[in-house]
Amino acid sequence: MRELQGAVLAWYAEAGRDLPWRRTTDPYAILVSEVMSQQTQVARIVPRYEAWLERWPTEDALAQASVADVLGAWVGLGYNSRALRLRDACAVVARDGWPRTAAGLRALPGVGPYTAAAVASFAFGEQVAAVDTNVRRVAGRIGLGTPDELVPAGDAATWNQATMELGALVCGARRAACDACPAAPWCGSAGQVVVTARGARGAGVRFEDTNRWVRGRVVAALTAGEDLPKDIDPERLATAVDGLVRDGLLRREGSTVALADGEPGAVVR
């Protein structure tokens, strides 16, 4: 096991991408990066992350931001409710301080098991596996233990980064470059990885045909001070608006909707 761990850590030291959130132990900056990274490509995140921290450099600053400002800064990153949960979590931290364990962090709004473990290990040094899709896939293919069992004693933070990076760059879901993998000599799947085809669920569905796309268009319009999009089917628009109101991103006032703490806004058709 030590040889495997050493090989993966040595590979990461050479091949790991230089990402800004990997150069800090600030729990707020790490939490921002983790929330932004959910289902969003790293290349898109870096400039948005840096701009976010320039605007709101601390959890206290973000906790005091308006819903309109937060959503406006989040436009284009998807799943706008994540931005509000991030703001809610920072409000709790600004009041009570940072929990320093994964168990404590899970009590924050919008913080699930993976995000809690990531912040706990990267910011506070807790020896816990941060298990995302990449880490779970790497451990499963190697076949020598669970993600928790593979963590080297005393170095969970670097190991978590290394296995995430290995899954992202080498041991991909639909492409496994076993000949370039540092874990290959110990991997039970080396050279015979079965790549799973994309499932039938959602196959052929354009993003523009999803409710998520409509919700994004609505939030983008309102943060820009514009009317609701007129090129979207009224029924789809109404469904998206109803969901955004239920989720607390918008409020309804008679025949108009607005951002939760914004000025009265666009008329609902």
pLDDT of residue 201: 46
> Would you say residue 93 has pLDDT above 90?
yes
The reported pLDDT for the residue numbered 266 is 46
| pLDDT of 123 | 97
Task: Please write the tens of the pLDDT for every residue from 256-266.
Answer: 777 776 555 44
pLDDT bracket for residue 204 (50, 70, 90): low
pLDDT tops 90 at residue 269: no
The structure's pTM equals 0.80
Instruction: Please give the full DSSP string across 55-101, using - where no structure is assigned.
Output: H--SHHHHHTS-HHHHHHHHTTSS-THHHHHHHHHHHHHHHH----S
Question: How far apart are alpha carbons 39 and 177 in whole angstroms?
Answer: 22
What is the rounded average pLDDT of the residues 37-62?
A: 93
- In this prediction, residues 133-160 reach a mean pLDDT of 94
Q: Determine which of 8-12, 115-119, 151-155, 194-198 has the lowest per-residue pLDDT on average.
A: 194-198
Round to whole Å and give the CA distance between 183 and 190.
8
Ordered by start, the domain boundaries in the chain are 2-186, 207-267
Catalytically annotated residue among 14, 34, 50, 149: 34
Please, are residues 202 and 51 in contact by the beta-carbon 8 Å criterion? no
Average pLDDT, the chain: 87
34 counts as catalytic: yes
Query: What percentage of residues in the chain have a pLDDT greater than 70?
Result: 93
Chain segment 111-142, per-residue pLDDT in tens: 999 999 999 999 999 999 999 999 999 999 99
207-267 has which fold?
Arc Repressor Mutant, subunit A (1.10.10)
Per-residue model confidence (pLDDT) at position 148: 94
pLDDT at 50: 97
Region 2-186: CATH code: 1.10.340.30
